[in-house]
């Protein structure tokens, strides 16, 4: 449901092209409607004054050891509507308004991913809002580290409130300030084409993220945060985004905007990254223009047409185009090489050694591919067809190799991809989900560890959530926040969540997952090594645990191993990273 509540909908008033050309900022008082009657603030509520406004937050307890002060749903950019639709984000001008920051803002339009607990689904183009969480006991005499969370969702789904950031802060033994935010997704965030390149509006969702980083740099000290100690944390598309920010060496900023990174199930070399003018993205762009009745126009008229189209028609067209390409996983509305934020292919950046040298904690889940590949895959021919469609530049040589790397269970009875689970899936599904998981996530994560010049702490998430999904893409997110959906499963899962949460928080605070003791006893996590005794050092979480999947296996909470699972396959996928489709 599109948001129509004026107290939560931040309208940017009456912009005309002349104003757009002249103004670099938007006033917060022009954004916040329906709040003029809010005159007083309770002394029991947290309030912080920043140049743009005074934010009056709320207290979240939820049985946390430390109550959390939260400032929710406040705008960090002008509403990207009207003349600012398909435009780079515009920062907010200083003002003296008071803003009641006690509820999440609407999500950005896209394919929905329901947050924990479900709830009413409210979306709006006017969605560029942020949320800040800090312990109520935060010391007043010193700044504390900052975490900035970038949500995932294939750049077409998701919202900040999917991540239980308040719980992550509330259960930490040492204080830090955490920030989450929405950024534009779908066509509104990544309408990439030759036309949008001419207008200088590629990768708008990434530009939203950069503006949020700049906002943190300029304002987080008012909340007790240290702008010189910022950790980016992100899952899936959030992880890919962080990878691109690490590779962005053309930043005009005077000093780095972040200093550590937690990159979960993703990275700069994950999946395909095309040039802005690739044939695939042009096909998707033309389909979008047809659906919005903006086709057949001159290049100079297209964006004007799209900016005047109804919100509903733009969102419906965006979702329709994404759905059309979704079965092949050749997704629409993705980041592209734009000669700006993404100036080169990530592999070239890794090889150059010229990127942000920040400490990294990264990892993958054992069954990354289960939600993405067709469950009806039954024959070896269908297995081969999937890859031929996903990677059309491949020839028979590459297709033959991938078939050999993942032995056909119909031919080799001892194949590890022989599915004996008795599920209603095709006989080749287990084989295909393993191969896609390696290609899209597992091997790019290891590639980050292999190339990085700074310490990298690598994990392998192995606890099974369901019989079908196994250790599925994104499962670990609920554990890092110590979310009750995991801690209530069993005492083993509560310990697993506690240990993982302690590691991540320690890294956010110090750049070392071992430095802060936390609440749970845990083994020392040694950094990944490229050779010798440290080679393939990986912390494996929850191996052998299938309690959530209906089993009785408790497994091992956390164990440091020289983990070579999938290494042979990764050698092949790494060899294919330079073999790209233009």
Backbone angles phi, psi at 146, to 5 degrees: -125, 140
Q: How far apart are CA 201 and CA 222, in angstroms?
A: 32
Tokens of 34: 């329906």
CA gap 274, 345 in Å, rounded? 9
Measured CA to CA, the distance from residue 154 to residue 333 in angstroms comes to 9
CB-count exposure of residue 227 (10 Å: 0-12, 13-18, 19+): middle
Q: Which two three-digit tokens encode residue 570?
A: 């990764």
How many alpha carbons lie under 13 Å from residue 474 in its C-beta half-sphere? 17
Instruction: Find out whether 162 and 151 touch, Cβ atoms under 8 Å.
Output: yes
Half-sphere exposure of 424 (CA within 13 A, CB side): 0
How far apart, in whole angstroms, are the C-alpha atoms of residue 294 and residue 305?
6
d(CA 538, CA 525): 8
- Which DSSP helix (H) or strand (E) runs through 270? none
Q: How far apart are CA 214 and CA 221, in angstroms?
A: 12
Burial of 277 (0-12, 13-18, 19+ CB in 10 A): middle
H or E element: which one contains 506?
Answer: helix 491-510
Per DSSP, the residues of 90-138 read: -EEEP--EEEE-BSPPPBPSSB--PPTT-----B-S---EEEEEEETT-
Among the listed residues 236, 265, 318, 452, the single catalytic one is 236
Residue 52 and residue 130: Cα distance in Å, rounded? 14
Residues 6+ apart with CB under 8 A from 271: 240, 329, 334, 439, 440, 444
CB 489 within 8 A of CB 547: yes
Question: Which residue(s) pair with 562 in the sheet?
Answer: 537
Instruction: Assess whether 236 carries a catalytic annotation.
Output: yes
Closest CA to 524 of 536, 539, 546, 509: 539
Instruction: Give me the active site residues, please.
Output: 236
């Amino acid at each position: 449901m599109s948001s129509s509540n004026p107290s939560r909908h931040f309208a940017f008033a009456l912009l005309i092209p002349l104003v757009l050309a002249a103004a670099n900022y938007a006033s917060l008082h022009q954004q916040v409607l329906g709040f003029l009657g809010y005159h007083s603030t309770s002394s029991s509520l947290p309030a912080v004054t920043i140049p743009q406004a005074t934010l009056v937050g709320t207290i979240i307890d939820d049985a946390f050891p430390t109550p959390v002060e939260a400032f929710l749903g406040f705008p960090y950019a002008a509403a990207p509507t009207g003349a600012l639709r398909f435009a780079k984000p515009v920062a907010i001008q200083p003002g003296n308004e008071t803003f009641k920051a006690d509820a999440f803002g609407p999500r950005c339009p896209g394919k929905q991913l329901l947050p924990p607990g479900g709830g009413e689904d409210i979306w709006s183009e006017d969605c560029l809002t942020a949320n800040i969480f800090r312990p109520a006991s935060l010391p007043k005499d010193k700044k504390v580290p900052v975490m900035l969370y970038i949500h995932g969702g294939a750049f077409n789904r998701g919202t900040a409130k999917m991540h239980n950031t308040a719980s992550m802060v509330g259960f930490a033994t040492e204080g830090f300030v955490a920030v989450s935010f929405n950024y534009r997704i779908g066509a509104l965030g990544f309408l990439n084409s030759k036309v949008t390149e001419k207008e200088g509006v590629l990768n708008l969702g990434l530009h939203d993220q950069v503006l949020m980083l700049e906002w943190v740099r300029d304002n987080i000290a008012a909340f007790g945060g240290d702008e010189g100690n910022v950790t980016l944390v992100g899952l899936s598309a959030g992880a890919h985004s962080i990878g691109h920010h690490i590779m962005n060496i053309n930043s005009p900023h005077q000093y780095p905007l972040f200093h550590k990174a937690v990159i979960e199930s993703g990275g700069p070399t994950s999946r395909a990254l095309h040039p802005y003018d690739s044939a695939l993205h042009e096909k998707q762009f033309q389909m979008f223009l047809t659906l919005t009745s903006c086709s057949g126009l001159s290049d100079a008229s297209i964006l004007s047409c799209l900016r005047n189209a109804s919100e509903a028609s733009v969102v419906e067209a965006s979702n329709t185009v994404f759905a059309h390409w979704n079965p092949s996983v050749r997704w629409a509305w993705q980041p592209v090489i734009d000669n700006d934020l993404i100036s080169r292919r990530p592999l070239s950046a890794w090889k150059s050694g010229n990127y942000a040298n920040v400490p990294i904690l990264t990892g993958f889940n054992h069954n990354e591919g289960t939600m993405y590949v067709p469950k009806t895959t039954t024959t070896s021919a269908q297995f081969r067809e999937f890859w031929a469609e996903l990677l059309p530049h491949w020839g028979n040589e590459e297709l033959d190799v991938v078939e050999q790397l993942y032995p056909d269970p119909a031919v080799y009875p001892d194949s590890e991809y022989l599915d004996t689970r008795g599920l209603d899936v095709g006989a080749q599904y287990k084989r295909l989900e393993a191969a896609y998981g390696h290609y899209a996530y597992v091997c790019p994560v290891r590639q980050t560890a292999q190339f990085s010049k700074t310490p990298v702490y690598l994990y392998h998430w192995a606890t099974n959530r369901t019989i079908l999904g196994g250790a599925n893409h994104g499962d670990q997110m609920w554990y890092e926040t110590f979310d009750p959906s995991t801690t209530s499963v069993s005492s083993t899962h509560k310990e697993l969540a506690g240990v993982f949460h302690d590691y991540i928080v320690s890294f956010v605070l110090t750049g070392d997952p071992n430095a802060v003791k936390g609440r749970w006893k845990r083994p020392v996590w040694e950094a990944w090594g490229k050779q010798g005794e440290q080679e393939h050092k990986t912390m494996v979480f929850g191996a052998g645990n299938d309690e959530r999947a209906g089993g009785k296996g408790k497994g091992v909470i956390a164990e440091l191993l020289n983990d070579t699972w999938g290494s042979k396959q990764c050698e092949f996928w790494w060899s294919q990273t330079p073999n790209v489709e233009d």
